[in-house]
Amino acid sequence: MHVVPDTSVVIDGRVSATIDDGQFEGATISVPEAVVAELEAQANDGIDSGWDGLEELQRLADLADEGVIALEYIGERPDAIERGHAAEGEIDALIRDLAEDLEATFLTSDVVQAEVAKAKGLDVEHVSPEVREVGTLTVENYFDDQTMSVHLKTDTIPMAKRGELGEMRYEQIADERTDEATMDEYAREIIDGAKESSDGFIELSEPGMKIVQFRDYRIAIGRPPFADGIEITAVRPIAQTDIEDYEKADELKDRLLERQRGVLISGAPGAGKSTFAQAVARFISENDYAVKTMEKPRDLQVGPEITQYTELGGEMAKTADALLMVRPDYTIYDEVRKTNDFEVFADMRLAGVGMIGVVHATRPIDALQRLVGRVELGMIPQVVDTVVYIEAGEVNTVYDVQTTVKVPAGLTEEDLARPVIQVTNFETDEPEYEIYTFNRQVVTVPLKDEEGGPGNESGVDRIAKSEIEREIRSIARGYVDVELKSQNKAVVYVEEDDISSVIGKGGGRITDVENRLGIDIDVRTHDENPNYGAGGGAGAGSDGGQRGGGQAAGQMVTPEITSRHVVVPVDGNHGETVEVQAGGEYLFTATVSRGGEIQVSRGSAIADELEQAIDRKEPITIVPS
């Protein structure tokens, strides 16, 4: 009797299992070279299935040595073109042809392969992959009731995050380092458990990285060359809450059930965002709303009535298209991070689906600001009308987001009325921020003094000063200083040589600036500034800040934050190396481009420091090196 196995049944280990059951005892097992080639390619790519298949071939060799079966390898290795078309069934066809030539029993655990072979007239033996009850994984023994995550790596001491929400500690949980053999054993146990248990599945499988969902655990396994050693990170939710456990629960429940809404649940890592999202999901599901989730990886702990979806064909946009056919009332999107995520979230929301997104943010307003530049400004309140900020496991702040047409706070001219996004504290019913377009820029203006702000200067005052300085610096060649006298009046101090340029013929130029900004501007020289040369500010110092029409030392600038960069405009110094300072403190050194700017990629350490300084309203200055 001849038996020809395909790749699927070799990887599953069911060839030797079937022989052990006595079904093919004494048979000749003819393994196609095409199967060996596939397994070898997978193993070379670091894919576990390749190693699993090679281990099965070794078991077959052992059975052959014991005389239980006869083992042979048949056929030719597939060429590069055939291997390249493996996904289209070329390798499967080669294996079926060999089984047909030998008039052998074709053994497979692939349903499609079995049906095609039957249609071709082959004698087919289809065996389903074995699903067995898997006990406790070794990595689970590192967890206790207060453990959120366990972190293991080759040649390091096991660590864990333990404690209450908002008070997590990263602490040592063993005395000895784990060696490579132990880590490899843990990793294989996890992968095998996910394959063999109905409670687990492999969420992501790439060379060097696998993400497994096993019962309540999400486990990431990194291997070289992706990681510099075998690393296992296992995460488990330590709390399951109901929405009633949170403050402001009644108001939030009414708001969520009133109609489908766009909600961002924000907070720092470990603050309890996903725990709250799970509570919200269960609550709206129990109140006759159809709820689905979009997750990568899928680790929200929700009931079986809530279907959890991941990327379809590697794209959340395709998942969204499929969900629109399913017609959910609400979709939980965990997590919204990249521009594509925000675009998918917005598309779903504008299609009428209630959307609840989980977003990393260190302040309540930051979650909303992440939409700026990704979603058209006027559409933001239609995409997100509620922001919930979670801190230390509690609902800290809830914002209501609406659009109104008005003169922005701090401006007085009626012709400056425009659409303004008003961000209102849901608990106090007081507006806390306004977002609008000012002089071609989108600005977020705090309506209350923020902690850490300089003096008693309001957010509106700081924006106004920044825009006045920008306008005047586009005209003047020397140092510019702005003093805001009131909400609609300012004094601008410039070099004496710049007075005529700034005022313009018959006052026409400064009048244009006043009309654009809606502020009365009085232009004076630095000598008339009582604070000039008295310390502080870029114009201070015995040399008057290098007056004389050249580039000023300590040139104040106003960076612009785009979706990808923090752009620092620089007047002069093109091609030169300069220092960027915040509040007089050195941040970094950079070279000014020919276009007169410095670009810093967002997400870098330098950009983070610069953005934090901007958030603290510290003056940003450029100083020649």
**Local confidence band at 195 (pLDDT 50, 70, 90 cut-offs):** confident
Task: Answer whether residue 545 shows pLDDT above 50.
Answer: no
The pair of structure tokens assigned to 238 is: 């330590």
Give the containing element (helix H, strand E) for 107: strand 105-108
pLDDT computed for residue 57 by the predictor: 94
pLDDT computed for residue 597 by the predictor: 87
pLDDT average, residue stretch 544-554: 41
Strands (E), 407-511: 418-425, 431-438, 441-446, 481-486, 489-494
Give residues with Cβ within 8 angstroms of 459, minimum separation 6. 445, 446, 447, 448, 449, 450, 453, 617
**Local confidence band at 231 (pLDDT 50, 70, 90 cut-offs):** very high
pLDDT computed for residue 163 by the predictor: 84
**Local confidence band at 584 (pLDDT 50, 70, 90 cut-offs):** confident
Question: Which has more confidence, 238 or 171?
Answer: 171
pLDDT, tens digit, 9 for 90 and up, residues 78-120: 776 655 555 556 788 888 989 999 999 999 988 888 899 899 8
| Closest-CA residue to 618 (of 559, 569, 531) | 559
pLDDT computed for residue 388 by the predictor: 95
pLDDT computed for residue 14 by the predictor: 85
As a whole number of Å, the CA-based R_g of the chain is: 33
pLDDT, tens digit, 9 for 90 and up, residues 335-347: 898 889 999 999 9
CA distance linking residue 410 with residue 124, whole number of Å: 80
Task: Answer whether residue 208 shows pLDDT above 80.
Answer: yes
Cis peptide before 569 (omega within 30 of 0): no
The residue to which tokens 């090196």 are assigned: 625
pLDDT average, residue stretch 592-621: 82
pLDDT computed for residue 350 by the predictor: 94
Give residues with Cβ within 8 angstroms of 564, minimum separation 6. 601, 602
pLDDT average, residue stretch 332-360: 93
CA distance linking residue 611 with residue 621, whole number of Å: 14
Question: Which has more confidence, 130 or 55?
Answer: 55
pLDDT computed for residue 586 by the predictor: 76
Task: Classify residue 475 by burial, with Cβ atoms within 10 Å: 0-12, 13-18, 19+.
Answer: middle
pLDDT computed for residue 453 by the predictor: 44
Task: Classify residue 53 by burial, with Cβ atoms within 10 Å: 0-12, 13-18, 19+.
Answer: buried
Task: Answer whether residue 548 shows pLDDT above 50.
Answer: no
CA distance linking residue 389 with residue 378, whole number of Å: 23
Question: Which has more confidence, 67 or 408?
Answer: 67
Rank 51-65, 185-199, 437-451, 530-544 by mean pLDDT and report only the highest.
51-65
- Which region among 214-223, 304-313, 387-396, 581-590 has the lowest average model confidence (pLDDT)? 581-590
Cis peptide before 431 (omega within 30 of 0): no
Rank 384-398, 466-480, 585-599 by mean pLDDT and report only the highest.
384-398
- Which region among 291-295, 354-358, 478-482 has the lowest average model confidence (pLDDT)? 478-482
- Which region among 9-18, 127-136, 221-230, 261-270 has the lowest average model confidence (pLDDT)? 127-136
Tell me the residue type at 290.
Answer: A
pLDDT computed for residue 165 by the predictor: 62
pLDDT average, residue stretch 309-325: 91
pLDDT computed for residue 129 by the predictor: 66
Set out the domains of the chain in order of their start, with CATH numbers: 2-126 (3.40.50.1010), 138-235 (3.30.450.90), 243-446 (3.40.50.300), 449-541 (3.30.300.20), 553-625 (no CATH)
Count CB atoms within 10 A of the CB of residue 41.
14
Q: Is the dihedral of CA 308, 313, 315, 321 positive or negative?
A: negative
pLDDT computed for residue 279 by the predictor: 92
Tell me the residue type at 147.
Answer: T
End-to-end CA distance of the chain: 84
CA distance linking residue 24 with residue 232, whole number of Å: 39
Q: Tell me the C-alpha to C-alpha distance, in Å, between residue 173 and each of 142, 149, 413, 487, 542.
A: 8, 11, 64, 59, 61
CA distance linking residue 570 with residue 556, whole number of Å: 9
pLDDT, tens digit, 9 for 90 and up, residues 515-540: 877 788 999 988 888 776 544 444 43
pLDDT average, residue stretch 577-603: 81
The mean of the pLDDT values for the chain is 83
- Which region among 249-263, 325-339, 476-490 has the lowest average model confidence (pLDDT)? 476-490
